[in-house]
Structure 1
Amino acid sequence: MTIASKTNPGRFFEDFSIGEVIRHATPRTVTSGDVALYTALYGGRFAVQSSDVFAREIGYRHAPVDDLFVFHIVFGKTVPDVSLNAVANLGYAACRFLAPVYPGDTLKTVSEVIGLKENSTRKTGVVYVRSTGYNQHGAEVLDYVRWVMVHKRDPEAVIAAEHVPTLPRVVSPEALGDACPVIDADAYDLVLAGSPERWDDYEIGETIDHVDGMTVEEAEHMLATRLYQNTAKVHFDQLAQASSRFGRRLIYGGHVISLARALSFNGLANAFHVAAINGGRHVAPLFAGDTVYAWSEILDKQPLPGRDDVGGLRVRLAATKDKPCRDFPLKVGEDYDPAVILDLDLWVLAPR
């Protein structure tokens, strides 16, 4: 019997070339049902994304799609072409949310390969891509850089050109706010939003323990990853992962980001919009059965040029597993506490 080769085995490291532009398949129309499922998975309580009435009263058309849900959808389009054969997703930089997304909008993604670096073992290499999400009108809604470690098909394959891109450490305040319309800050109801703190009430250097924990279940992380149409093998195929380094499926790193963001409501309830992801690392793997906690440090606060309705808070959002954040100090940095699983640097917007 002859088996036709019509399936996609995914790209290996030697299949990428610097400057290559990849148009990813499967545009995705975001529905209100998708939004409800996303809320059910993480329990986010930010009022702007939860209530059409609240959102309209401060200046949105209606409740926008959660920023990180937009990120996951745009990211998910790239997986079959970039990270189907990944060892791990390593980090993010220069992520900007450029326009609000509403239920009914259709998103698609285009990526450019901007860097390649073979690892010393010659069995894997790191691929750097800049991905951009567009809506049905061709408007950019999101762009970001990520780097991912990918298996080589042939360890002896020669890589034509290598380059590690220089990336900005922080998105400038001037680049924030495009996805947030000018809001009526006086109409922003602090009682309904769940917290009395506005932008002015936070101080640089302040640390916030978000208190609550959430245990990850096998079914929910797989459902979430399928929601984003993320097909990475490390999240789904237990038979294949049984012989891997960890011997079991990994939780998608974006699932950890959304969990930490949802937990951050308790302490940052009025930081209603993620304007940028400056950078981030998945420090350690997460598995089903682990319990996630989160804490934040206010790294900076900046007014937005030409706007007096919202201000930017630069937040270091850290997530841990099986170690409540009341057990400070938790080391974050080059010498991570073993409990730290996520170190994310964000700009979020809060009403002034």
Structure 2
Amino acid sequence: MKTNPGRFFEDYKLGEVISHAVPRTVSGGERALYHALYPARGALYSSDEFARSCGLPQAPLDDLAAFHLVFGKTVPDISLNAVANLGYAEGRWLAPVYPGDTLAARSTVIGLKQNSNGKSGVVWVKTEGVNQRGEVVLSYVRWVMVRKRDLDAEAPMTTIPDLAPAVPASDLVVPEGLDFTGYDFTLAGEPHRWGDYEPGERIDHVDGVTVEEAEHMLATRLWQNTAKVHFDATFRPDGQRLIYGGHVISMARALSFNGLANAQMVVALNGGAHANPCFSGTTVKAWSEVLDRAETAAPGVGALRLRLVATSGGEPFTLKGEGGKYLPHVLLDLDYWVLVPR
């Protein structure tokens, strides 16, 4: 058999290292297409001159675009037969990605647990994106629910990894040379500094974008993500193509510009949940909550820990109902660190 049906739950072995196929060289076109797909307006990613004024050699690829690119490499081996992508933890951006860089990915299986129904199980993997110099540019843990091929296959010993609830501020990596002491707030679009944000503050980002069928499939193809639920209308009983969760993440992050224009670089992903499915025709809106602040050693650079919530409507700042279950209009609940000027 020459075709690849994808892995099923019983195919994963604890400690196994999977090298994913098809490295990808990033071009300026990748950055332009990302900005065409989302209302992304971060000055650091839009202008080489702005990036140089902040101590970088040129504008890097958006951090989430780098994440999607690495994530897409893993899909044929990790989530081709997934029922759902369940969550993220311990994500760290370790170096900027620039046009001309070539990224590859590898994953290590760090946890396995068969579900009580015997039809599926949860697989935890730690994924690393590596550039052409062998440098790890980002790493993260995610866990997915994967179908079993053989329902009679023996269940593996349950191993659930002990994951940190958040990346400590002391472990955040600030890109070499980053300097916000000469930061141009006018060009960036808003005057708000690190000290203007208080833990507990909530921001309604006001704007919304309706997701179209063609654009989400174009985005998912851009990242070479082959998950069947995003393309094959016969794969789900309801005949709908599921919007790639990363598309919702990027849309919400772009919408957060209105109120967080100076949240320039994503440096850590503490946790995240795709709370409810998103389909074509959904209008995505977003709000944020400031969870924490931290200083960094880089000149003029501070860090904010933010909760980013994407919704399909409903009242802003509503998240969970009785029993702690996400409300039906909540699409995404993301906890991450960003770098902002002080």
TM, length-normalised to structure 2: 0.97
Looking at structure 2, the residues matched to 134 and 53 of structure 1 have their Cα atoms a distance apart, in angstroms, of: 27
Match of 2:128 among 115, 127, 132: 132
Looking at structure 1, the residues matched to 76 and 319 of structure 2 have their Cα atoms a distance apart, in angstroms, of: 35
Find the counterpart in structure 2 of residue 171 from structure 1.
Answer: 167
Shift of 1:92: 0.2
Shift of 1:137: 0.3
Decide whether the 8 Å contact of 1:182 with 1:309 is kept in 2: no
Match of 1:312 among 299, 303, 322: 303
Match of 1:190 among 176, 185, 188: 185
Shift of 1:343: 0.4
Looking at structure 2, the residues matched to 332 and 182 of structure 1 have their Cα atoms a distance apart, in angstroms, of: 41
Find the counterpart in structure 2 of residue 221 from structure 1.
Answer: 216
**What count of residue pairs does the alignment treat as equivalent?**
340
- State the AA in 2 paired with 1:216: V
Which secondary structure does the structure 2 equivalent of 1:36 belong to? helix
Find the counterpart in structure 1 of residue 82 from structure 2.
Answer: 86
Shift of 1:336: 1.9
Find the counterpart in structure 1 of residue 18 from structure 2.
Answer: 22
- State the AA in 2 paired with 1:314: R
Which secondary structure does the structure 1 equivalent of 2:235 belong to? helix
Looking at structure 2, the residues matched to 290 and 231 of structure 1 have their Cα atoms a distance apart, in angstroms, of: 22
Gaps of 5+ in 1: none
Match of 2:295 among 266, 290, 303: 303
1:34 matches 2:30: yes
Shift of 1:277: 0.4
1:206 matches 2:201: yes
- State the AA in 2 paired with 1:189: D
Decide whether the 8 Å contact of 1:294 with 1:320 is kept in 2: yes
1:331 matches 2:329: no
TM, length-normalised to structure 1: 0.94
State the percentage of identical aligned residues: 62
Find the counterpart in structure 1 of residue 156 from structure 2.
Answer: 160
Shift of 1:38: 0.7
Find the counterpart in structure 1 of residue 243 from structure 2.
Answer: 251
Looking at structure 2, the residues matched to 160 and 36 of structure 1 have their Cα atoms a distance apart, in angstroms, of: 45
Which secondary structure does the structure 1 equivalent of 2:234 belong to? helix
Looking at structure 1, the residues matched to 248 and 27 of structure 2 have their Cα atoms a distance apart, in angstroms, of: 23
Find the counterpart in structure 2 of residue 8 from structure 1.
Answer: 4
Deviates more, 1:95-104 or 1:180-189: 180-189
Find the counterpart in structure 2 of residue 49 from structure 1.
Answer: 45
Match of 1:321 among 312, 315, 335: 312
1:265 matches 2:261: no
Which secondary structure does the structure 2 equivalent of 1:95 belong to? strand
Deviates more, 1:145-154 or 1:158-167: 158-167
Looking at structure 2, the residues matched to 156 and 184 of structure 1 have their Cα atoms a distance apart, in angstroms, of: 58
Shift of 1:329: 4.3
1:347 matches 2:304: no
Query: How far does the alpha carbon of each residue in 1:52-105 deviate from its partner, in whole angstroms, 9 at most, with x for none?
Result: 010011111000000000000111100000100011101000000000100110
Which secondary structure does the structure 1 equivalent of 2:53 belong to? helix
Deviates more, 1:152-161 or 1:340-349: 152-161
Query: How far does the alpha carbon of each residue in 1:296-352 deviate from its partner, in whole angstroms, 9 at most, with x for none?
Result: 000100112x334211100000010133xxx24412482322110100000011011
Gaps of 5+ in 2: none
Match of 2:104 among 101, 108, 117: 108
Decide whether the 8 Å contact of 2:287 with 2:316 is kept in 1: no
- State the AA in 1 paired with 2:300: D
Which secondary structure does the structure 1 equivalent of 2:68 belong to? helix
Match of 2:269 among 270, 277, 295: 277
